[in-house]
């Protein structure tokens, strides 16, 4: 495949990750404005599903397209600096998604379901704080991934 094709897929994947992170952010903002805990549960569950399906797929596509871009450039060295940084960003994003964002989103949905019958608790605020940290980190990593693509195009 031509180099431009892999660059385009890489670009679409990075924007897909940024869109996933931003949509999750806006869904949580909408959930915070709703008074009904049943609706909040639905929105938090949507956040969890968006992060799991689109976030995970985007991160994996970024890593795949970066490696295929390197091969299209003819670089056979596995220690190419750009690729190492891109792969490191993908691994960090994957770790943040798996260890921070998804467990916090699951806890938010669980706490919202529990709050339907028992009212809110302090666990909800802690889960929301963890989710915000993971979401902000993923947003920074998605912007860094876009920056890595721009850096590759300039080289």
Tokens, residue 86: 């891109």
Cα–Cα distance measured from residue 44 to residue 106, given in angstroms and rounded to the nearest whole number: 8
CA nearest neighbour of 107 among 51, 149, 68: 51
Percent of the chain with pLDDT over 70: 93
Q: What is the pLDDT of residue 76?
A: 62
The single-letter DSSP state of residue 76 is -
pTM: 0.86
Query: Does residue 77 register a pLDDT over 70?
Result: no
User: Averaged over 82-102, what is the pLDDT?
Assistant: 91
Q: What is the pLDDT of residue 23?
A: 95
Number of independent structural domains in the chain: 1
26: domain CATH number is 1.20.120
At residue 152 the predicted structure's pLDDT band, cuts being 50, 70 and 90, is low
For 52, the domain range is 3-154
């Amino acid at each position: 495949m031509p180099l431009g094709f892999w660059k385009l897929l890489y670009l679409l994947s990075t924007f897909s990750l940024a869109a996933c992170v931003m949509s999750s952010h806006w869904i949580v903002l909408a959930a915070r404005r709703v008074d009904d805990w049943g609706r909040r549960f639905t929105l938090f569950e949507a956040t969890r599903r968006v992060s799991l399906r689109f976030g995970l797929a985007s991160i994996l596509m970024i890593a795949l397209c970066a490696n295929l871009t390197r091969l299209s450039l003819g670089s056979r060295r596995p220690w190419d600096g750009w690729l190492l940084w891109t792969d490191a960003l993908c691994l960090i994003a994957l770790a943040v998604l798996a260890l921070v964002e998804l467990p916090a989103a699951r806890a938010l949905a669980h706490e919202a379901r529990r709050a339907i019958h028992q009212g809110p608790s302090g666990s909800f605020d802690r889960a929301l704080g963890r989710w915000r940290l993971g979401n902000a980190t993923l947003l920074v990593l998605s912007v860094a991934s876009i920056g890595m693509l721009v850096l590759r195009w300039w080289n």
